[in-house]
Structures are given as C-alpha cells and as structure tokens.
Structure 1
Amino acid sequence: MGDTHFIVAAIDFGTTYSGYAFQLTQDYDSKNPTLKIMSPQAWNGGRTQLTSMKTPTCLLLDNNGDLDCFGYEAEDRYADLCLDNDHGNWYYFRRFKMRLHDSSGLGTHTEIADESGRRLPAIKVFSRSIEALTGHLFKLLEDKSISVKPTEIKWLLTVPAIWDDTAKGFMREAAKRAGIPSENLTICLEPEAASLFCQYLPVEKFSMCGEKGFSDSKPGTTYMIVDLGGGTADITVHEKVSAGNLKEVHRASGGPWGGTFVDSEFIQLISSIVGGPIMAAFMKEQKYDYLELMREFEAVKRKIGLGTKDTINMKLPVSLNETCLKVVKKDLKQLIKDARKDKQITFVSDKAKFDAKLLQGCFRKATDKIVSHMKGIFEKEPCGKKISMILMVGGFSESPFVHDVIKDAFGNKAGLSILIPNDAGISVVQGAVVYGRQPKTITSRILRFTYGVKVSPEFVQGKHDPKRHTVLDGVERCDGCFFKFIDIGTTVEIGHKVTEKYKNTVANSTLVTVEVFTADETNSSPTYVDEHGCRSIGSLDVFFFT
C-alpha cells in the first residue's frame, strides 16, 4: 500500500520529545528500506542549546485555543511571557502524553490542565500538537519544492505498545482532527517500529556489549526490545522468522518508568530540602526560572553515568533562594544544612556542586523497576531462556546511567548481547516509516487483553445476579453479561478472524448495536461487563435489510 502514496510520513508523538520522518516513494528500496529516510535537522534550539533530532513536546495556544507554536519555540516564547508576567492569557502544555497512560474515563470531552491550571479538552491539545508537527513537515516539503496533499501521504502515528485500545483510538481521533485522513492513517507500535529499523542497521551503527551483532542474527533468534522513552518503558520480545519477518513471542509490558520519572525524582529531591510549600510556590510563581532549572537538569541527565564520581555543577535559580527567604525566612544554604545535605551540595559562586551519588539516586527508582521487569521476563518459560540479545531503543536509552545499569545487570549473562543503536532516540520514528512500507513484516502479535461483547442471555436462577434480571420482548434475560470471543495471551497472525453467532433479543429489529469490551489480566474472564478490569472500547451498528 505504501507504494501507492507519494510519501510515507511517520509522527513520533513523545512524552518529552516529538518529531517526524518521511521517505519519498521514489527513494524506497525494498532491500534496505531505511535508505533516504529524512528527519528534520531544525529541532535544535533552546537557550541552553540542547541538541536533539526531535523537539520538546511543548504546546503554546492563544486565549482562543488556537495554535501559536510548538517545541523549542513554545518553550522560549512561554518563558519570555512568564518573564514579562504576560502568560495569563495563554495556554502552555508540556509532557502531557502520559495523561493517556491510564485512559480510564478518557473521552473527547476529557479536559487536562496546562502549566497554570487552565483547562482545555485533551482532544484539542493533542490534535493541535499533531497539527504543529504536520505543519512543520509541509513547510519543510515546500522548502524542498515538493508539493503534496495530505491524501497523497501514508501517515504513521507511533504509540506505546502497552497502551490500551481506548488510548490508541483517542490518538487516531486527534490525528483526524489535525487534518490527517483516517483512511491514510496507521497506528504503529513503538517497539515494533524500532525493531524493524534495527534489522537493517550495520554493526558499526550500534554500541555493543557481547559477541553478537544484530545483522549477524539468523531466523529463530529471540531478542528483547527495551523501548525507554520520556514517559514509559515498553518491553517486548520478538523472534526473527524467515524472509526478514518478525513475530511477537512475549506480549508488550512495562510501566511509567521513562525519563520524566527521573525528573520527578529530582523535583522530589529539591522539595525534600526546601519543603513542599516552597517548591510549590517556586514552580507557580517563578515559571521562567523553573523551566531553566529543568533545562539545566536535562543537560545533566545526558552526562551522568553509574561510574560518575566527580561533583556535578548546576546553576540553581536566585529566585529559588528568594522564595525560601520569603516563605520560611531561611536561605537555601541554611535549608540544605538543616536537611543534612550540606556535605552533598556545596556552592562555588552561583553554582551548586552536587555529589554524584545524590543525583544518581534520581535514576534509581526508574532503573530498578526496569531491571526488575526485564528479569521477570527472562524467568518466564519458554521465551526467557531463548533471549540472546537485548535491543535498547528510545530517547531514555541514550542516558549513560541507563546504559551502565543495564550492562551491569545483564552484561555478564552468558551468550547475551546488549545493543544500542547510535541514534536510539530516532529509531522509533524512522522504523515507523519502514513499517509503513512493510506492514506485513510483523507476522503475529500476542493479545494484551481478552475481548468480548455485551450480551443478554436468558436469565437462569442461581446462575445470574438477580439484580440484573430484565425482560426484553417478553423474555426474562440477564443484562450486561460478558461473552468472550478471544483470550488474553492468544497469538494472532495477520488476517486472523473470529466467527461467532449472536441472537437478537428483539424480534424483527432492523438495527442491533454490538458493544465490544476488553478485560485485562487482573480479571481476564469476567462474567459481567461492569466488573473490575473491563472497559468498553466501542460499538458496532449492525443493520438488517429485508
């Protein structure tokens, strides 16, 4: 299908950073589909000049909710508005993707708060962000004298594999509202995209720990993809099959243990020193300085490793000290001493010198959870013992500390190689373009949920809940039963079909609405659709014509 479009374009909408990549159909090479995949080089900005192949997931909207700017530009513009105390009539959203990690109650009317507490519908925030990314793409194409319509592009939108169907459907609707035709859009799972991309990378494009490179692997090779993004750790196990295809042998799992987890720990560290009220006041009243502090910490995150022993210099905002004096009549140095951190945090001029172990501790909760989860998969039969490689992708995988922790935990495991592509942060978006060209290379997946429909069977005394008794068309029935049509953990191949027969409860009806539900691993065989772990994912209207 990809060859029928002028361009295949993928959008990687991340928690911390977002970006896109594209490939002209005329440049597609089936033997090496990664050739001539283009990503913009303009995503390097910000006053601290952090270089990135992507741009921060930050959105600035005007008072009417219309798009003003996105990314580094939004960060800088909002910082200036805060500096001038002129930000009250603007909406500024950052790192809001994680609102979809737990999608319970999620809908088109769900609202989310911006950095100042002002609220807008989440669907508008997400669609405006996608609109900004597609707008940047069209501007880039225009600069290259390439004229193309949205309908001439095959679009890919990446999402974590651990997301449920509700969150995926929400992103599809957001893309539609951003101007992407639904019939041209494919949802792509992030670990799968990265896995496909790495199939074609030469050995010199990886940093490795172990004996075996990815290009050396043969059919039957089983490997773990550890996709560490800004928000989530998304872990899957794939097996290579013939003709360069892949199949999933352990379903996607993980949790909210990405790079922003480390940011939260850093904020908790500062809060534990100055106190929650001071930190809350600083974050609310000194938004410009808070943004600069987190930019400063972002630069530190990219340098610190497990073996770092030297002190780490960071510039703490003067306004943080002023807030301390204002709220508790003590300066920052005194509060550090009171918290018994004065041996771990010292000052030279306007720079704070942090003991490396103190900041390394900000990583520990996230990396401990990641390592523990990975070890759990290794212990599972039969796939665990077959894993011969760990493939680390995603922006958080580029952290030296994460490198070191994974190598320390698994580097001595016999026969196991650990591979990290040199550009781990863009492996997902470029892999999504490959998936757009070769969607059938993922030959099978393992279901993360049980699927069923809501039915109303004839009521049976002693079997059904009396509170659910109802009468439909003169027949006593039980309302709201869950009828399972496929189990969690089932391996499904491309084109897999399930056939079930259902009876209409109302005679001569020309319309039947079939409600589809999922059940998660906490309750994979529910009796009723409103039990814990069940969730409605949509409905189908079936018309009967006579």
Structure 2
Amino acid sequence: MKKAIKKTFSSIGSRPKARETPKDESAEVFVQKYQHEQTKIIETSCKDFLKEIKAIGKITFEHGDGKNNTLLIECSPANRSKIEPLINVLDKQISTRLGKGFLVNGDSIVNSSGEVVYQRIHLHHVPESEERFSALTDKRKERLLVAAVDLGTAYSGWAFQFYHEFQKDPTKVYSKNWNSGQHVSAKAPTCVLIKPDGKSLGAFGYDAETEYTALAEQNKHNAWYFFRRFKMKLYNQKLSRNMTLTDEGGKQLPAITVFSLAIRYLKEDAMNESGRQLAGGLNPDDVHWVLTVPAIWDDEAKQFMREAAERADICSKNLTLALESEAAAIWCRFLPVKKCGDGKSLKTFKTGTKYLVVDAGGGTVDIAVQTVLENDMIENIHIPGGGDCGGTKVDEAYIQFLTDIVGQETMHKFKNTFMDDYIFLTRAFEEKKRFTDQSSRNPVVFRISACLPDLAEKCTGKKFDDLIKESKYCGQVKRSGDKLQTDFDIVTNMFAPQIDLIVDHISKLVEREIAKIEAILLVGGFSNCLMLQNAVKDRFGDSKTITVNDSDLAVMKGAVIFGHRPELITQRISKYTYGVKCNVPFDGKIHPPSRKVLGKRGIYECRICFDIHISAGQSIVAGEVQHKKTYKANTEKQTTMELEIYRTLSSKPVLVTDEGCHVAGRLDLPLAGRGLNREVEVQMIYGGTEIQVEAKEMATGKVHKCSIDFLN
C-alpha cells in the first residue's frame, strides 16, 4: 500500500486550500507551489534533480489560477526515504533560482513589492494515521552537505558528501587530489606559510613549501613564518590558549593562530569545490563540519581544536569532533570486500565480532578495540590505546642518520639555506618508507641533494666520503653522486623503535581479549609501510590482518559518514574518572583531621572531596546522562557558581588531593537570587567525543547547557 504526503508552498497569511487526496491514497505526494512565470526556470535549471526524482517517482506540473502553479511529486512508501533528500536539494535549487532578482527573507522569497512567491509551510500526512512528519526544514537537521577536515601531523586534507549521495552510496565520498607540480597525492603536507603580519595566511600545503622556497632563494623568507608538522604540540603537553609555536626559522606565533589558519584554508577550499557542484553555491548553514582528532588526545587538546575551528568561522553548532580510530572503523564497516586490499572487509563481519583498529598516522598511533553490532553500529569495549609512535618518528631517525654523517651545523644550514632540497629529500624518503621491505634485506638507496655533500665540505673542511668513513656508519654506507647506498641493518634501526612500540601496544590490547580478537585493521598513512604491515602479520597472523586500499583516506572519509550518522558509535569507554571538588560533612573515618573545617552552615566540613560523575573504565552509551549531583551556594550573594572539575586514572578517588588527581577544568554556572540554600543540579552528558553539562537552578527550574573549560 502507499500513503499520501503533502508538501505545500504558499504565500504568508493564506494557507492554501487542502488538495483532494488522490484516489490512490497510498501514494506519497509532495506539493510545491510557485508563481506561474517561474515554471520554466524550475524545469530547466533543476532538470538534473527532477530527472533523479522521476527515476523513482512521478512528476506532474498542474496549472492553477495563472498566478500559482503546483509541482506534484508522487512515489511509493518504499522510496520515501530516497526521495525526501532529493526534494531537500531541489528546495535549495529552486530557492537559489527564484532568488535571482528577488529578495530572500528566511525560508520565504519575496519580490520587490514584498509579495511572497515561495515559502515552505509544512509536510503532513493526508490519510487518517498516527504517523506524522514535520517539515523537512524543521525535522532533524539533515544538512545538504557533510564535510570533514583532517588536519594531520604530516599530511592534511578534506572530504565531503552531499546528503542525497550518502543515501544512495555512503562510500561515495569526494576528496581532493593535491598537485605538487611533480606528483599528485591524496593529501597535502601540513605546511603553513604565514605573512609577516603574523595574522594572514600566505599559502598552505605544497604551495606553502614552494612559496617559502622561492622566498628563501631571494633571501626574503626571514620575515615570514613557516610551520611544518605542528599538530603533535597538542599531545601530552600542558595546553593553554596563549601557548606559542616555533616556526622553522625560530620565530614564534600563537598556536591558535597557526591552527585556525590551517583549518580555515581547508574549510574554504572544501566549500569552494563543493559549491561548484551545486547551482547557486552553499550557505554556511548548509554544511555540517567534522574535525578529526586522535582518540588518545585529552579533553584540553580537543577543546583547543574546537576553538581553532571556531576562529576559522566554523559555527560551533555546525561542528562535530570525530575520533580518528572510530572514523576509520566506520569507513571500513561500509567498505565492500572488493575495495579492501586483502580481500577481507569489516562489512562482512558477523554481529559480535571483536576487532582492533590500528590508525597509524604521522604523529600518533590510535588503537581501538571494538565490537560489530547490528545495522552497521559499532561499540568500543576498551579505552583507546596507542601513543606518539607515528611515521614522523621514522622521518626524524632518517634526518638524524644524515646528521650523524655531516654534522649538526651542516644539517642546520642545509635546512635553512636549501629548503627546496631539504623538502625533496624528505619526500624521497617518504616513498622509501612505504615500500622498503625486509624480505630481501638488500641495501637501500636513498636520494639526497647534490648540494648536501658540497655544503658539508664547506662547513667541515672534509670530503663527504671522508665524513662517512669517520662516522659510525663506516663500511655500511656508500655514496654515488646524489645517492647513498645504505645497509639494510641501518634502515631497520630507523624503523624498529616505532614498529616495536606499535606491536607492543597492539599486544597489550590483544592479551586482554585472549583468542577473542578476530581481526586487526591497519589504516592511516604509516600503515602503508610494508615493514609495519609485515611486523603485525608476523606477530598476530596474516589471516587476522586487514589492510585497506587508500588507507590514508580512511579517517577522513569515515569522518564524513560519522557526520551523517554519529549514532553509528553506540558506546565509548571513559579513560578518566571525572568529578567536582566539593564540600561534604566531615567524616573522621574517611577524611584527614587536618581537613576538618567549620562551615558557614554551622557544621564541620571537608572541602576537598572528589564527587564522582564518571568513573574510569565506565562503559557509556553515546549521549547518556550520568548521575545528577546537587551543589549549594558557598556565599549568600554569589551570582555564579564556579565548580572545579578534576580527573584521575583512578576509578575510586576520595579527595582531590589523592595521588594522580589533577584539575581538568572549570565550570561556571549562573546562579539567581540570594542565600546559602540555593542549589544547582548538575549532570554530565558523556559518550560522545566531548563532555557536555546540563545544570538546573532548583529555585527557578531554569536549565543551562554548559561546556567545561579545559583550557582555563
């Protein structure tokens, strides 16, 4: 059977007369009204979308009173979920086209006389039924587009997908190919060139490298700021809003400036490209943004990234943070077998299957332990593991290898004087890093700049070949022109520390689930390294290891799907215990005597108690509200209740002074009225990628939605 649904557009203040329900009351009916003279505009400019609609439904143009005509769209109930997104995009097309020569006012389009010619009214169910549908503009806000920004340590990029495309094929995600002039890559190097004013972006990615090199050749680069691989400054560091970063030339700028300029460039580049694919372009509210962050990052780093995005003019309500290992798992969950490099796919796993996702990126390695649920859902069953053992550590080992030969002074001058050669050297090593395989154990040939040996001779007064002989690599390295033939043992030593750390991290998680982990998914740029792949296969078995084609895009594209369906991740595990520092009646059995204080209410208190809201290791359903806790005013006249938020790895802290307890942030809550009996009920909402707080003033019933300030 079919159902009838109407979608009506009319002028303000005059609801159109109800259409007669079609004889076949099972038809899905969408009705649009528009002025007579706009008929051809709609038919011609929106023909592509009308064609898509015709493939699954029926379209009829009905002539009315000469002023208003009707576009009638019919489809079967089975196709309603497919046709609604198309109509949503069609709305955008019509709104854009009719807006030419007219004034746009909200969802209404008026002409110069103030007469409304187009307006959304409602979407309702015609036959008798309890099922009701709200207007497409009022229901769950399905953006026209979801775009993801992946600001990586070594490489960055963006991806996007229109909602109607997601409905057809979730894996049809568009990403940019970046051109260096010499080759094309799936991502651009994370390089930011900032103008001498310290505020304006000069260039990003390959362009930043090229322009900075040109400036250096003209000796004009000293006034500019050039930053590379700065993301890891947010990991395992004490962060603040006024922290600074040091550029390649030793100059400093606020970190928030560097991060926000990089995010802004990626955002605007994605907007420009996606806008070209939609007639009339896009408005900011048409897009929901997803910003990727490592799962092992703490709350303050996540907040820093959010604030950097907001400074890049991404509205907070249109922004979601995605954990990189989760985004990668989502991508693999939707990826068909034929697109997986090993002929295996998470898509084919049965419900209940447990697996690891190893997101080996440039800076960090994120490892998540997850379980497959029904309807493509995924739940986390362990706290994320990993550390700062990504591919850039191998790059650093290679540079140190060269430094051991030519000396620190030579490498410093080489980097600052011949930046283009230095960049070429690192890019050439990147290729070697991916494809070097220990199975042959043959010597590895590295290409170096031809000017490096000359510079070394000038700085040291010695021939390059003599420097090799005097180094610890004597007999293991040979030079031929701009190439270094290097024994495989030396190369192995560059990779081994990081690969061993990654394997150890995986082992610790696998051992917790002995004989239960059925697969290990390798994603991220560093996962393309054959030495890493082979080490994982040797340790855990070839049958368990899955490598994905284009694995360096898995996080970015998975983040887009997460933006469409954040409910795919149903559960997370809290790394920390979170709580509030509070006053409680003194208990001599628990509290130290030195903490016994007579309070303003005439009772003895302990004022350093850890009031737990979320416990370390706790399984939390996404969006789930935790325990409600009530706190009273400390003074009669205070207008704000300031709560100190603490965290610890311990699951049962008693006092905020217990070992391992640290101040995590602050929560400021409005407080009306006067007196000591004023109370605020606080509940933390966790399970998403960020903690949210709801606070209710008990006297007024007013509810405040707040965020913990982890950077205060």
Question: Which position in structure 1 is the counterpart of 2:560?
Answer: 433
Measured against aligned partners, the alpha-carbon deviations of 1:211-269 in whole angstroms (never above 9, x if no partner) come to: x6423210000000000011011001110112221110111111001110101111222
Q: CA deviation at 1:441?
A: 1.3
| CA distance in 1: counterparts of 2:417 and 2:206, whole angstroms | 22
Aligned twin of 1:390? 520
Does residue 314 of structure 2 align to residue 180 of structure 1? Answer: yes
Counterpart CA distance in 1 for 2:410 and 2:594 is 52
Contact in 1 for aligned 2:443/2:486 (Cα 8 Å):
yes
- Match in the other structure for 2:696: none
Match 1:45 to one of 164, 167, 180: 180
- CA contact under 8 A between 2:585 and 2:606: conserved in structure 1? yes
- Residue 529 of structure 1 and its aligned partner are, at CA, apart by 5.6
Alignment of 1:39-438 (within 5 A): 39-41=175-177, 43-47=178-182, 49=183, 51-65=184-198, 66-104=200-238, 106-146=239-279, 147-208=281-342, 213-380=345-512, 383-411=513-541, 416-438=543-565
Contact 1:10-1:21 within 8 A present in 2 as well: yes
Match for 1:450 among 577, 582, 586? 577
Residues 1:495 and 2:623 aligned together: yes
CA distance in 1, matches of 2:592, 2:247: 44
- Retained in 1: the 8 A contact 2:333–2:345? no
Counterpart-to-counterpart distance in 2, 1:409 and 1:445: 28
Partner Cα separation in structure 2 for residue 259 and residue 402 of structure 1? 10
Which has the larger displacement, 396-405 or 187-196? 396-405
In structure 1, what residue type is equivalent to 2:180? G
Change (3 A) 1:337 1:469: farther
Equivalence for 2:51: none
Alpha-carbon distance, 1:100 to partner? 0.7
SS at match of 1:148: coil
Residues 227 and 394 in structure 1, CA contact (< 8 A), matched pair in contact too = yes
Counterparts of 1:68 and 1:308 in 2: how far apart (Å)? 45
Q: Output the CA distance in 1 between the equivalents of 2:176 and 2:477.
A: 40
Distance 2:209 2:431 in 1: 16
Residue type of the partner of 1:489?
A: G
**Cα deviation 1:188-218 (Å, max 9, x = unaligned):** 1111111111112111211228xx6423210
Q: Please give the alpha-carbon distance, in whole angstroms, between the structure 2 residues aligned to 1:85 and 1:107.
A: 34
Deviations 1:370-411 (A, max 9, x none): 00111111111xx34311001111111111222222112212
Question: Aligned letter for 1:451?
Answer: Y
Q: Residue deviations 1:30-86, cap 9 Å, x none?
A: 7x422x311112x13154x2x321111110010112011101111111122222221
Contact 2:294 2:324 in 1 (8 A): yes
Kindly provide the CA deviation profile for residues 158-196 of structure 1, in whole angstroms up to 9, marking residues without a partner as x.
Answer: 101000111001100000000100001011111111111
Give the aligned partner of residue 159 of structure 2: 21
The answer (yes or no) to whether the contact 2:148–2:289 under 8 Å persists in 1 is: yes
CA distance in 2, matches of 1:524, 1:44: 53
Distance 1:14 1:270 in 2: 25
1:33 maps onto 2:170 in alignment: yes
Quick one: which amino acid aligns to residue 501 of structure 1?
Answer: T
Give the 3 Å change call, closer, same or farther, for CA 408–441 of structure 1 in structure 2: same
Deviation at 1:506, TM superposition (A): 2.3
Letter in 1 for 2:485: K
What is the Cα deviation at residue 455 of structure 1?
1.7
The separation in 2 between residues aligned to 1:260 and 1:59, in whole angstroms, is: 17
Quick check: 266-275 or 473-482, which moved more? 473-482
Alignment CA distance shift 1:135-1:409 (3 Å): same
1:446 Cα deviation (Å)? 0.5
Once the two structures are TM-superposed, the CA of residue 417 in structure 1 deviates from its matched residue by 1.9
Find the aligned partners of 2:483 and 2:140 in 1 and give their Cα distance. 53
User: Does the CA contact (< 8 Å) of 1:301 and 1:399 recur in 2?
Assistant: yes
Instruction: Write the letter of the residue equivalent to 1:434.
Output: I
d(CA) in 2 for partners of 1:3, 1:424: 31
- Cα RMSD (Å): 2.5
- Distance across 2 between alignment mates of 1:23 and 1:364: 39
Q: Secondary structure at the match of 2:271?
A: helix
The alpha-carbon deviation at position 482 of structure 1 amounts to 2.8
- Pairing 1:512–2:641 present: yes
Counterpart in the other structure of 2:101:
none
Q: 1:481 to 1:308 in 2, by over 3 A?
A: farther
Separation of aligned partners in 1, 2:492 and 2:276 = 44
Q: Is the 8 A contact 1:46 1:76 kept in 2?
A: no
Contact 2:149/2:266, CA 8 A, preserved across alignment: yes
Which is further off, 534-543 or 298-307? 534-543
| 8 A Cα contact 2:209 2:420, kept in partner | no
Unmatched 5+ stretches in structure 2 = 1-138, 674-698, 700-712
Contact 2:150 2:157 in 1 (8 A): yes
Contact 2:358 2:520 in 1 (8 A): yes
Moved more, 473-482 or 172-181: 473-482
Structure number with higher relative contact order (C-alpha < 8 Å, ≥ 6 residues apart): 1
Q: Is the 8 A contact 2:356 2:520 kept in 1?
A: yes
Q: Secondary structure at the match of 1:10?
A: strand
- Inter-CA distance 458–112: structure 2 relative to 1 (3 Å threshold): farther
Deviation at 1:426, TM superposition (A): 0.5
Q: Distance in 1 between matches of 2:466 and 2:610?
A: 61
Please say which of residues 212-221 and 158-167 is displaced more in the overlay: 212-221
CA distance in 2, matches of 1:338, 1:282: 20
Contact 2:644-2:663 at 8 Å conserved across structures:
no
**Separation in structure 2 between the aligned mates of residue 430 and residue 4 of structure 1, nearest angstrom:** 18
CA contact (8 A) 2:434 2:526 kept: no
Contact 1:306–1:405 (8 Å) recurs in 2: no
Where does the alignment leave 5 or more consecutive residues of structure 1 unmatched?
none
Which of the pair has more CA radius of gyration? 2
- Supply the AA of the counterpart residue of 1:128: L
Q: Which amino acid aligns with 2:489?
A: K
Q: Contact 1:91–1:118 (CA<8 Å) still a contact in 2?
A: yes
Q: 1:462 to 1:150 in 2, by over 3 A?
A: same
Asked if the contact 1:453–1:482 (Cα under 8 Å) also holds between the matched residues in 2, the reply is yes
Measured after TM superposition, the shift of residue 293 of structure 1 is 1.9
- Deviation, 1:471, is 6.9
Q: Is 1:538 matched with 2:671? A: no
Whole-angstrom distance in 2 between the partners of 1:441 and 1:144: 28
- The letter of the residue matching 1:395 is G
Quickly say closer, same or farther: Cα 1:538–1:208, change in 2 above 3 A: farther
Q: How many angstroms does 1:289 deviate by?
A: 2.9
Cross-structure match for 2:126:
none
Change (3 A) 1:336 1:2: farther
